[in-house]
Structure 1
Amino acid sequence: MTNITPLGIFGRIASQSAFSGNADELRRLAGVIPEGERGRIAEYLRSGTPIIALMGFSEDILGKKFSRSGGTAIMSDGRFFWRLDAADYVEHYGIELPEEFISHGNSRQWVPPVLSREEVVSVDRHLCHLKEIGVL
């Protein structure tokens, strides 16, 4: 399972303070996903499998519309990985996501797979490797 792809701006393993440096980029990506599609995409993101559980608390860096315990945790569907609070940004702001992810989600009817223990370990190892070599 080494073909795991970061989910755009949300595929960065970063503390809340480091992630807050992305506010301008998030603003540029806002409003792309239509309101009628945001809920099912956000639910998919929330329903991914936790890979790296982090106790951090994240707060909306754009408009103070939400906060989330564990928002910096890393989730995955086996093909992509993202921060848990990505769901909130999609739901509240319609933040643009890569077309490859949108196609992937549509093909699954926005039902994420349940990853096996072996798949979780594989994704975790790959992310650790990417972190070690400085990609993340």
Structure 2
Amino acid sequence: MPNVAPLGIFGRIASQSAFVENAEELGHLVGTIPMEERGKVAGYLRSGTPIIALMGLSKNILGNKFSCSGGTAITSDGRFFWRLDAADYVEHYGIELPEEFIVHSTARQWIAPVLSRDEVIDVDNRLGQLRRVGSL
């Protein structure tokens, strides 16, 4: 089973109404990623492989800059997992991400791998295991 890790604040599997409770914490992470870096980071996040597809509209909890269809869905690159709307938060606010993710993605030249069906199943199983033990 892969050692997939949550991508900071965006690695919390939560409904939109539950994610709103993170607004203050998210606000403290604004502006860390420089404007000129945000596009490539957001692009990487957007190109992750869908693991858990969820319907609904997530709304920006920091302001009115965006909304995202299916924003609470979970995507992954096989090493990390994150909410689909993480890319919008990075692009619009430069939200800080864990250094381990930055190093990992830089080493991949900001190109997320496309996960195979078996890899998706493995990541999904790992997320289920993390949820059962209360780590998410």
Aligned residue number for residue 125 of structure 1: 125
Indicate the RMSD between aligned Cα atoms, in angstroms: 0.6
Supply the distance in 2 between the matched residues of 1:121 and 1:14 (Cα, whole angstroms).
20
| Conservation of the 8 A alpha-carbon contact between 1:54 and 1:70 | yes
The alignment status of 1:67 with 2:67, answered yes or no, reads yes
Supply the distance in 1 between the matched residues of 2:31 and 2:11 (Cα, whole angstroms).
19
Q: How does 1:73-112 map to 2 (within 5 A)?
A: 73-112=73-112
State the number of aligned residues: 136
Sequence identity percentage: 72
Supply the distance in 1 between the matched residues of 2:81 and 2:24 (Cα, whole angstroms).
22
Supply the distance in 2 between the matched residues of 1:51 and 1:28 (Cα, whole angstroms).
28
Tell me the CA shift for residue 118 of structure 1: 0.3
Aligned residue number for residue 34 of structure 1: 34
Secondary structure of the corresponding residue to residue 29 of structure 1? coil
| Conservation of the 8 A alpha-carbon contact between 1:15 and 1:56 | no
| Conservation of the 8 A alpha-carbon contact between 1:12 and 1:82 | yes
Range with greater deviation from structure 2 (77-86 or 56-65) = 56-65
What residue ranges of structure 1 are gaps of 5+ in the alignment? none
TM-score normalised by L of structure 1: 0.98
TM-score normalised by L of structure 2: 0.98
Tell me the CA shift for residue 132 of structure 1: 1.2
Supply the distance in 2 between the matched residues of 1:85 and 1:131 (Cα, whole angstroms).
20
Secondary structure of the corresponding residue to residue 71 of structure 1? coil
